[in-house]
Structure 1
Amino acid sequence: MLTISNEYLTVLINPLGAEVTSVKDNASHLEYMWQANPVYWPRHAPILFPIVGRLQDNQYQVNGQTYQLTQHGFARDNEFRLWSRTPSSVTLRYASDDQSKTKYPFDFALTVKYTLTAHQLKVAFTVDNPSDQTLPFSLGAHPGFNVPFGDVFNKFEDYQVTVAPKRVYQRVPLVGPYSDSTHSVPLDLTHPLRLSHDLFDHDAQVLTLNDQETTVMLGTPRDDHGVALTTTAPYLGIWSPYPKQAPFVCLEPWWGLADDVHATGELTSKVAIQKLAAHAQFNAGYQVTYF
């Protein structure tokens, strides 16, 4: 386990999946991250690559050949190499190999850098395409946050999600595990979205952000603790497993979506797929402020 820290926060990162497993306040010892209780969800903050969500029949086609790939891809289950490190930052890297090419026949390098600045953790992703062909991929983050954060007298329903800018967003409905991107529906977020477990009875609430800088705050009026996630991702998922009464919520910046209900199976025509030109680089990320 890798540790980075500063005056305010201590962060633990597992090289397996380059996954953040803990963010603690140094003064209060308050734990912000979901601790992966398998009764509810056995992960903390997986990185989603080279797909986000699920493929129809867990398969896709490239150049007439069919490949099998399970939900959210395989990066989260592979060891990342330590690339560089300082007391308050760490960079990890995962590159294609013979094993990855049995599931995803492309050359790539995925780098993630975590940097602590005061009360904020910045997460920077880089995808490199070292080949002569276009690289089709999706990328996502899936950090889970404890709800409640620390006060045992607070309940899940005491919490709310506040989005800035305040406006009516388009929400991508899910039909089972698949996106119905042609039937977006409005979601009024001019006021905070109050949490309840049945809010997730059709899986995640998926917001279309249109690459506009957006901040999503998770907290409660009952105390001063919470998190604020800022990103320019095109989509953001808000999720907690239903019908389980799980004591956490994920705020998920996505550069991609689950397969559309009308997906053809061709990876290059997948909904919201990124297409990285030969020998090019893709940069994205988000930051979380803990309070």
Structure 2
Amino acid sequence: MWKQLNNACDIGAGLWGNTPKSSTGSFWIQCNYSSAIPNKSFSRKVNLLFPDNAYLIEDTGKYRCLIGPYSTHTKAMGAKQQLETQKITSTFIRQTTKTISGLAKTSTLKPISKSKNTQITPAKAPNNPKLNTLVENRVVLNSIIYSFTFNGLQYHQPKDIYSTENMPPMFINEQDNYWSRININSAQKWCRNYGLRLPTYEEIELLQSHGRHLLMRYRWPTEISYWTSSVNPITNEIKTLNLRSGKYDEYRPPALLYTACVK
């Protein structure tokens, strides 16, 4: 049986093998991320090693396996090495900005059997689902960050929409973080999920020309172009803009680019 963490619990950000810049905060080991509860074999190994501090937390319909929290990076490294003795190697350490003093737990979850016939039935969405609440200057569901208000619009940045073990080529490392590259359909869906929308080309062009100090202050990624909601009526392709160079370009929906959402 897995103990389940409340979604409000702070799980920090991945260090991805880097040394923590600060000794403050707490440390987690992320040991799995999948659309189903880990199978019995994996669950048994983890819970035998860490019977009191192995958890699952739901993340946009998927399950994230976490072990901790630990007070120091050294202790977290020790736990990571224990997992490696059981051939659980696809793990990494996460660090929170503040020390975790208490955990908000919910129910317990049973592991599934590792069988080809196992089927996962998705939960039905409510008739009137409530939009996820946006909280300024903090991470919500390990994905959204409110950064700044410019020209009357609130700009929000997703950090890692789809956290997977196979990062490249879906992720780019910028500003000491991994940022998601997604297609236009995923970008629109992500914005709608939080009651936001994609910016128009004119809005993001104004941000690039007059709001670059905000992009630098809040360390936004700018290596590749950003999606907009504007379409060229002649080519029927989507207008995009590189926030670093100011270069205009057009892409078809399957392209993988950065996204921002506004309100």
TM-score (norm 2): 0.21
State the structure with more CA Rg.
2
Higher RCO structure, 1 or 2 (CA under 8 Å, sep 6+) = 1
Judging by fraction of residues, say which structure has more strand: 1
**TM-score normalised per structure 1:** 0.20
Greater helix fraction, Structure 1 or Structure 2: 2
